[in-house]
Amino acid sequence: MDVVHAGDEGLGGADDLDLLLAAAQDGRVVVTRNYQDFAPLVEELARRGRQFPGVLFLSPAIPPSDLAAHFRALTAWSEAAGDGNPVRNTYGWIGPA
């Protein structure tokens, strides 16, 4: 797994759409808690037929400050996905592992 923070990529203050498009250009899945803003963006890109790696929403049950819980949840999701990407061109949820 290769995880980067938006701020480390020079996208710290980026608009949500710009962040999603930059991630798509780099072949990265966006991981966020921001369902309210990103779900409509994902749906719009899908309607337009735009290809992108997808978005994963973190469950509110994963404490924001618990990095180990984030790692466990991402690892469990990745292992369950195997060689595929079930969120390609859509979104999904990551729960606590």
Q: Is residue 20 part of a domain?
A: yes
- The pLDDT score that the predictor gives to residue 39 is 96
- The pLDDT score that the predictor gives to residue 3 is 83
- The pLDDT score that the predictor gives to residue 55 is 96
Q: Is residue 1 part of a domain?
A: no
- The pLDDT score that the predictor gives to residue 76 is 94
Q: How far apart are CA 81 and CA 77, in angstroms?
A: 6
* Spatial contact of 30 and 57, defined as CB atoms under 8 Å apart: no
Q: Is residue 42 part of a domain?
A: yes
Q: Is residue 62 part of a domain?
A: yes
Residue with structure tokens 């890109």? 45
- Which residue segment(s) compose the domain that 23 sits in? 6-94
Query: Is the C-alpha dihedral spanning 32, 36, 39, 41 positive or negative?
Result: negative
Structurally, the chain folds into a number of domains equal to 1
Residue pLDDT tens, the chain, 97 long: 778 888 888 888 889 999 999 999 999 999 999 999 999 999 999 999 999 999 999 999 999 999 999 999 999 999 999 888 999 999 999 999 8
Q: Which of 49, 35, 59, 33 is nearest to 89 (CA)?
A: 49
